[in-house]
Structure 1
Amino acid sequence: MFKKKPQIKNLSPLKSSERRRLADQIRKDYSLPEPQTEQPQEQDGQSAQPQTLTGIRNALLPDPTSSAKFTTTHGPNSTLISGTLYVGTHPGQEERVLWFQIGKDDRLIPTVYTLWQNPGLLPLLHIGETIVGKLKGGADLFAPGLIKPHWGFDERARKDSIVAVAGHKSDTVPRWVGISKVDISGLPDDATGTAAEGLHWEGDELWSWSPLNKGGSPGPDAIEGWQGLTAMAEETDDEDDEPEGEHVEGGVPLESSTADLKITDGDSPSEEDYVPSTKEIDDAFMEAFLYAIHNAKKNVPAEPHGFDFPLQPSFLIANMVQPHLRRQSPHYNIKKTSWKNTKKFIKHLDKQVLVKSKDRNGGETVILDIDFNDEKIKSFQPYRLPKPKAAEPAEDASGISKPSSDPGTDQSLGQKLSLQVVYRASSKLVPELLPSKTAFYTSQQITSALKQYIEDNPDLVNEAKKRYIKLNPFIANHILGSNPSSDDSKALAAGEIDRGALNRRILEDDHLCIPYHILLRNEQSLESDPSLKPKSGPPPKITLTIEKRGGNKVVTAVAGLESFFINPQLIRPELQKKCAGSASVGQHIGGKPGMLEVQVQGDQRSVIEKEILAKRGVRSEWIEIVDKSKKKKK
């Protein structure tokens, strides 16, 4: 429910009477035991503290507690819902959202922070650790994933009840809160479908919220008072020396010794299946940044340690963060951090006084300097980086391979490219000349179709001048009359037209033949692979722009590489080496979002065309050179 950040209004303190009323409502809704009235017995030589009504109320809703209205979206249709959240502070903890209420349901639903302070408040279900990761990604809880011990599920886990979920490793720490969609307490062994719908979990935006914007606080490894799988098995072992386990499909049986629980093959944890929390991704990005500085200081002792300022946002992510992440997983990308984009990440580094940043025209934020003597950098301890995996070129929906996103793999080297121009016929040519408006035709096929049309209509041929074709209503009205020019008027007046001129007239008029193009790579063929989809408009070009920036500094900007399966991030270091000057990658100004531009110092058109692009299959006719470095003549 709180996968996206909710809109929260201003907090207002609860009156003491309202706080007590809500606490008593919680006690009733969750069938909590009445407070003790008699002196409790001693335990382990110490007198147990009586569980008074005031103590129970303060444990559930600490004094003081504030409330605020919120709105958010929920479900596959992003339905707008509203409710109230309650913020308070448990002893020794930070101020957090402790409860929330949604829609017309008067029940207060506890967050994980409340569950960590109130053991036994909800029925606790258990699943494999891999499934915990999926639940934290926003998935609902399915019945086949539940671990069912032989003593059965908690009797309180009825339909429409609020339930908590823990992984089988940290089996006493609730990580997820949801509402049961079925009677889980009586769930049969072969049950399928959704068991509970997710409302809140460790790692969502409600967990991340704090008045000081500190982010979420992870739970402990174990909590005394919650009965986990191991503890419950030990209690049962005292009664029965040979307990038998049973399981729901997708769960696990409990043997007499449950110190090392096993999960089924489908639940075996893996790096790819694990879904990290937002805080874990944030921490990984910060560690990767520090690791990059650490490596730079190690390899280049003198400042600026090999960095060429200003650093572009794309350079920060591609060359500093991504190669130094603890895990190489699709989950670890800037969009899944709490910052959501590189600009806010740089601003965060600036607030941490790790870097000095500046906003440039166009909204781009660059790094002007790094504090290499910051204590976080000096005390950083490097960790073992994962081994890079061999990357295969990705394919888009049309089946065309795209450049690999792996920083160390350049799939464009040695590629063979061919540009094919095809056409779609307008309704003016169908069906007399071409049979279909949706099919693609090459120029040779259109020429052949015109030749066949003339052969099928021999009366069109001028016997005295066989190169000339007599005009009939189809040629005069549908071809020459589609977008008439002066030459068309002459042909209409003469009543005839040269065969070659007629063929060119058809191909060059985009009112008759609509041009499309497709860039084929290596062994691809439009004829052998119908899934390839040509694109409308003129063929793409790589643009080399030579211009002066920052005064008299001449730079060469390269744009349009992506259309030729070339990753701009991967040619930057090669350009820097070949041209013996600094190179950077940034958003192509004036281009589509996500299209990048590589800049290198100096007029490097020859090196780029002949040494960089040629070995990636780019022909000179596909390159457009724009020289803006020369002064305009008055």
Structure 2
Amino acid sequence: MFIKPFKVKSNNQLKGTERKKLCEDVLISFPNLSDADVQALLPKKETISSMKIITHGGELCKLYCVAKVPMFFQLDQPNLQLFPTIFTLWQHPDLLYYYTTYPPVVSKLANGAHLMLPGVVLNGPTTIKSYGKLEKNTPVAINTDDNKAAVAVGVTSHSSEEMYMCGGRGKCVDVIHVIGDALCQLGKPPTRPQIDDKSDTPTVNEDSTSDIVEDLNTAAIDDDINDNKNDDINENNIVTTPPEINNLDPIKEMDKLLEYCFLKACKIFKKNDLPILSSSFFKNHLIAACPSDQIVDVKKSSFKKLSAFLAYMVSKGVINTTIIKGVESITQIQSSNPLIRELVINETAEPSKPVSSNTPVVSECFRVTADVLPILSKFGYEKGDVMKRVEIRKCFMDYVKKENLQDGKMMNINPQLAGTLRTKENVLSLTIEDGINKFIGKMTHTHEITVGNTTLLHTGKLEPIDITVTTRCNNKKVTLINNLETFGIKLDEFSKECQGIGASATITDVPGKKTPNVLVQGNQVLYVYKLLTEKYRINKNHIKGLEFAPKKKK
């Protein structure tokens, strides 16, 4: 229900009488809680708010948050059942009856699936008591066989007796709330604790746990929320007893590689760069952490999707994430987590190989003209040749020394220099620096732009990259970037880079401009400026338009 972001209809702080009413409702719904337990869950010193929300599917729901952390929710249904969130269950694990599943199934649940009977961990052969003594639509929780802390909350799909009669096939729990969903993104929720199993929940030996991952699609069925066709289930192929695996399972191996690369990337990642878009972290850090002789591919793992894998990492306490406008970002990396702290990096660093950079290198150059040709021709240059300032200076000084014109920091002017520099008749000497500058001034100013192995020459004044902000239809702001091609920046590649911020970017023609522009939705001046200066290494003197950046609120 909360897989996708929801809309907040109202958000009000509870008054004294409303607090008292909530405490009474909690005691009625969960009689095994004492008054002290309720006071600990709903402390008087903390702010308690009531939020009315509309889920992505259109259902109405009421949330009760303590210090912005959701603790209870109530569905707009006839029975008005009060449900605890997983954060409440972490403090009081015995509030609801538990069904235990395998850790890899959590990613399926986080991706919108329901818990199926083959995914339930049972102790010994199936009996009529294996699924408890529950009626249909009874609130239950789900945990894993390695940690009693809840990962999901839902209601039973059938009564316990009907589950037994299903013969290990069909649904067990309709999942409503799961770790990593939109509820978990409110406030700063705590990290999932490690709660030991005290034999209240059935267990299974480790060999069966590893083998059951052979076919996760028999443990969970896809919900229409995410349209994940990979979770569809074929009733005829359901197995209740996992087969033995003698050969390496490619899905398991990809799961191991994916987790290794992710933990390695987390270990070397700079915390100052947080928060970061999950897609950017995957593309720029996780893939880079993959050993050179292997290829990491989420689609070939049991998770299928990056969001499902991230939910699994959240459940392990490795990271914290948030979803803003449907875009997921990593907000925190728990470096003290044992998975990161105890990670051993297997491969050794390979010697770096020279790689041609796509960063434009702008150099100031000058083209040989007819005015300076009589002197530079003595050094093998022809009209139209491009020279750097250092080369011109060397040739000029060699000429001055060869003609015995130098006098300390001054130089005498002979007829040839007088004709080249076009000095007045009464000027017989100049400083050497003035002479060099006047000589260079008689040449055509040019810029050499090198991108990789390609060199571009731009004659005359080098127009800077122009960033402007304008409005389009419906008074929406857009950012236009012009003159990128002058610096050898490919428009299609740059537009894809701009999409990393979550805004759409296109290439468009603007009236009055000679070259195409890159158009980015919204005022993205700061992002574009940072991209140009940090990634493309463009000198800030070659960028114009920073004054259009949004003003900071005081």
Q: Which has the higher helix share?
A: 2
Q: Work out whether the TM-score is over 0.5.
A: no
Short-chain TM bin: 0.3 to 0.5
Which structure has more relative contact order (CA 8 Å, sep 6+)? It is 2
Query: Normalising by structure 2, what TM-score?
Result: 0.44
Query: Normalising by structure 1, what TM-score?
Result: 0.39
